[in-house]
Amino acid sequence: MNTSIFEKHYDIIIIGGGATGAGTARDCAMRGLSTLLVERYDFTTGATGRNHGLLHSGARYAVTDQESATECIDENMILRYIAKPYVEEHDGLFITLPEDDLAYQEKFVESCWKAGINAKIIDPKEAIQMEPSVNPTLIGAVQVPDGSIDPFRLTMANVLDAQLHGAQVLTYHEVTGFIMENGRMMGVYLRDNITGEKREARAEITINAAGIWGTLVARMAGVNVSMFPAKGSLLIFGHRVNNMVINRCRKPANADILVPGDAITVIGTTSDRVPIESVDDMHVTPEEVEVLLSEGAKLAPALATTRILRAYAGVRPLVASDNDPSGRSISRGIVCLDHETRDGLAGFITITGGKLMTYRMMAEVATDMACSKLGVQQKCQTATTPLPGSDKSTVEEPENHLYAFNARVGRHGTLAPSIAAMDDYQNSLVCECEEVSVGEVAHAIENMHVRTLTQLRRRVRLGMGTCQGELCALRAAGILCASCKKSIEEEMADLAEFLNERWKGMYPVGWGSTLSEAQLTSIIYQDLCGITSPSMKDRRQEP
């Protein structure tokens, strides 16, 4: 560990390694502020890595939450420009089914236009031609500028750019308390969640960007940020059923959106309030799976016979404002709290609310407040400056190994040439499902804070495909063991932990092909390779 990180006095310390924290680190660093980003586990382990990856047009909230709808469409257009490799621009449909109220469509379109969203009513027959998977019984359709976005790659691009502008980054460092002097927050106490070592870091301003966990962070500082933990469960299907986002044209409800991304489709989501104490241990229930399947098939009937890869759940960072048991009526608007004026605690800011779609705007709001307090007059540049990999340069196509090349460009954009691809070995595939090459794995280890298979999964999608790590995990483990100079025992434990995490998502949908795949994985790794489950004391309790 570089001890100079802890010896420096920063302008800004940011708590939380999701999209908002990473975006705030980027914005702060680009404005010339000395910045430290701390995350208790790995990047994107919270809500950022547990959503449906929708590039919101804002239409979903147009009727019920105009503020959020406007924020979404504004950021939608910005992300299409600054984050090209991480965005798919395939538009979306809001469909009206026979049991829905067709009159709602008119109100919906009117509300979209008020928010600045280009919503267009189209003939149901045209909708079927545009998206053949859609329920053919639909009686109404509206086309909107929805899309999809990869939250993992988006977040890492922000982290990379923050570092390029001088920011320091610490993963697996948990804030355990705050340094207080004369009613002012002066920094944070940290615990290394791998070694147990305790440190401290000091800054003029600390920004709480921890999402739903922000309420617990604020509690340690003696202030109250009242949050509404709304759990949402989702399912991932084994192939790309639809090519456009399909939404139900009604007020937001369970299982009314189907999002295509990469080679899969995601159905979401449920919404139920959960205790704040449970947000680190979310499980998908059989009842939630049943709701998602039955309602999802109404959007696209093919879902009823499509293999489900896995189930997962996240918790929305909603700011409590009423007693709605589902949280559906709570605004997704951005909330930025100056704890000096609100609570008499100087040097502390909380940025919360919002959603993945508005992470950049949230970062701008928080950084504006911090700059105002520091007397810095630099303007935000994140809306006009492309993220790494998103510039307009061209990438020359090689003569050979086009499969690996296309996958690299798809994931890394114009950064692809920096990934080693000089020979057959570097271009050989570690993960066939997602076409991840040896060179790409090496690049992630060297440049993206990777030491475990789970971290590698979040960076390059290794193990996210049809086999869920069955064929690629052992190959990747061998590369990690050699590159990170880990012992065989250490990497075997990492491999077991990775496979157990994959099973955690397969278990709620463990029937048919999914169960068969899991049984084959067990035979390969447990029976043939002799890998057993790591003991609880050896496993990091990471979401």
Domain boundaries, the chain: 4-46+152-226+333-374, 87-147+228-317, 402-538
What stretch of H or E contains 264?
A: strand 264-268
516, two tokens: 């068969």
Taking the CB of residue 368, how many other CB atoms lie within 10 A of it? 16
- For domain 4-46+152-226+333-374, give the CATH number: 3.50.50.60
CB neighbour list of residue 404: distance below 8 Å, 6 or more residues apart:
421, 427, 428, 429, 435, 437, 439, 440
pLDDT tens series, the chain, 543 aa = 566 888 899 999 999 999 999 999 999 999 999 999 999 999 999 999 999 999 999 999 999 999 999 999 999 999 999 999 999 999 999 999 999 999 999 999 999 999 999 999 999 999 999 999 999 999 999 999 999 999 999 999 999 999 999 999 999 999 999 999 999 999 999 999 999 999 999 999 999 999 999 999 999 999 999 988 999 999 999 999 999 999 999 988 899 999 999 889 999 889 999 999 999 989 999 999 999 999 999 999 999 999 999 999 999 888 875 445 555 556 678 999 999 999 999 999 999 999 999 999 999 999 999 999 999 999 999 999 999 999 877 788 887 888 888 888 888 989 988 998 889 999 999 999 999 999 999 999 999 999 999 999 999 999 999 899 998 999 999 999 999 999 999 999 999 999 999 999 999 999 998 999 999 999 999 888 888 765 433 444 455
Crossing angle of helices 438-447 and 453-460, in 10° steps, is 110
d(CA 272, CA 290): 15
pTM, two decimals, is 0.93
CATH superfamily membership of 87-147+228-317: D-Amino Acid Oxidase, subunit A, domain 2 (3.30.9.10)
Query: In the prediction, which pLDDT does 200 show?
Result: 96
Tell me the sheet residues that pair with 147: 55
